[in-house]
Amino acid sequence: MHIEQVDHIGIRVRDRDRALKFYKHLGFDVIHTATFDEVVIIRNSAGVEINLIINANNPEGDHNILMDVETKYPGHTHLALRVSSVIETMDTLKTAGIQITQGPVMFGQDGHVSVFVRDPDRNTLELRGRAEDNDKIEGLIMYDPND
């Protein structure tokens, strides 16, 4: 077997319209709504595809069972999406009223900078950009991998 790339990611959400409004700010549009299941397929102009699975319930309150509890369960903790510019991404998030929950942060010395956000269902997204003029990134925190 030879895996070539990630085809898509499925994200469980509670409210279709609320999720679509959020992901629209990140550049995603609906390309298909399944008739056999509660699935909405969204894609951006670069071909990144996300399947929104509209069947989440909320017995645990308003938190993410994988990220926001002390007991750490196995599972996918976040989706990392490459962005062309962290500076432009931060401006877009600010305009859309989307809170950055962590970052901007640089892990190591590779020049990549990440910001983290939560969708309305508290799913974690990392928006990661390649090296650019880091002096222009307001509030940048750099972690030294040797610490």
Contact status, residue 29 vs residue 42, Cβ threshold 8 Å = yes
pLDDT above 80 for 143: no
Superfamily of domain 1-57: 2,3-Dihydroxybiphenyl 1,2-Dioxygenase, domain 1 (3.10.180.10)
Class of domain 77-147: alpha beta
Q: What gap in Å lies between CA 12 and CA 53, rounded to an integer?
A: 5
Tell me whether the CATH fold assigned to 1-57 matches the one assigned to 77-147: yes
The domain locations on the chain are: 1-57, 77-147
Complete DSSP assignment for 84-140: S-HHHHHHHHHHHTPPEEEEEEEESSS--EEEEEE-TT--EEEEEE----GGGSTT-
pLDDT tens-digit profile of 51-92? Answer: 999 988 765 556 666 666 677 666 777 899 999 999 999 999
Q: What is the pTM of this model?
A: 0.85
